Chains A and B, each alone.
Chain A
Amino acid sequence: QKEVEQDPGPLSVPEGAIVSLNCTYSNSAFQYFMWYRQYSRKGPELLMYTYSSGNKEDGRFTAQVDKSSKYISLFIRDSQPSDSATYLCAMISVSSNTGKLIFGQGTTLQVKP
């Protein structure tokens, strides 16, 4: 079983839709969770960072963590064509003292005008 699983998509939605992106993980030592956005041929850009179960909101983005189910989500409200990118979930183990990130495969999102 892979440590972090993420459906690669592609996911295509109309402008204004609510988008739900998800990752599951197998290692209960993962306690710190990030979502990155990556445009083509660019580096990952940090969107959200959270370490507790529950929801965290920032503008149109909401990160949700359910540690009991080992499941994290990113919701994008009122999606825009500029949101078209690959979204990567990433995690750090509580036992890590080096900040090593484990990434999901990434989900490619296309928002159509």
Chain B
Amino acid sequence: EPEVTQTPSHQVTQMGQEVILRCVPISNHLYFYWYRQILGQKVEFLVSFYNNEISEKSEIFDDQFSVERPDGSNFTLKIRSTKLEDSAMYFCASNSGGVSPLHFGNGTRLTVT
């Protein structure tokens, strides 16, 4: 069964550094997402991406964050200058459109020290 894959599984970085989290969505899906889960808290929406542009973003997704689909398969989340509070699990997801269910990757655990 096709799946969403994310790399790396764990990233440790120092405060103020830039990180790029990578995702390969399911190949025939058209909509891509990033969600975040701080330890012990809810899974929270960050951003949705369709047709090479952001379709919706949350208040969390400020100017420090950006997303990109650099080629036909990868979807990336960049955090330009990491803060301690960015430490969380970051999940990539994709779906075939609109209100169809999202399929999630296993996440990247980001630790900012």
Please provide the chain A residues from 9 to 43 with a CB less than 8 Å away from any CB of chain B in the complex: 31-32, 34, 36, 41-43
For B95, what are the chain A residues with a Cβ–Cβ distance below 8 Å? Answer: 99
What's the Cα separation between A49 and B101 when bound, in Å? Answer: 7
Closest chain-A Cβ to B21's Cβ sits at a distance in Å of: 13
Binary interface profile of B, 47-66, with partner A (CB < 8 Å = 1, else 0)?
Answer: 01010000110000000000
A33 to chain B, nearest CB (A): 10
Chain B hits for A92, CB < 8 A: 99
B75 at the interface (CB under 8 A from A): no
Tell me whether B42 and A99 are in contact (CB under 8 A).
Answer: no
B4 neighbours in A (Cβ, 8 Å) = 43
Please, how many angstroms separate the alpha-carbon atoms of A97 and B97 in the complex?
9
- Interface-forming stretch among A56-64, A65-73, A100-108? A100-108
Chain B contact surface mostly: strand
Name the CB-closest residue of B to A36. B104
Contact present for A99 and B99 (CB under 8 Å): yes
Q: Of residues 39 to 98 in B, which have CB atoms within 8 Å of A's CB atoms?
A: 41-45, 48, 50, 55-56, 89, 91, 95, 97-98
Are A43 and B107 closer than 8 Å at their CB atoms? yes
Structural contact, B107 and A99, CB atoms closer than 8 A:
no
Bits for A75-113, please: 1 = Cβ < 8 Å to B, else 0: 000000000000010101010111111111110000000
Residues on B with beta carbons closer than 8 Å to the beta carbon of A43: 4, 6, 91, 104-107
Taking a contact as CB atoms under 8 Å apart, the answer to whether A98 and B48 are in contact is yes
Interface contact B107-A106, CB-CB below 8 Å: no
Knowing A98-B56, A99-B33, say if A51 contacts B99 (CB, 8 Å). yes
- CB nearest to A97 among chain B residues: B98
Residues on A facing B (Cβ under 8 Å): 31-32, 34, 36, 41-46, 49, 51, 88, 90, 92, 94, 96-106
* Pairs A-B, 8 closest by C-beta atoms: A43-B104, A98-B56, A98-B48, A103-B43, A49-B101, A43-B106, A98-B55, A32-B99
Interface residues of B (CB under 8 A from A): 4, 6, 31, 33, 35, 41-45, 48, 50, 55-56, 89, 91, 95, 97-107, 109
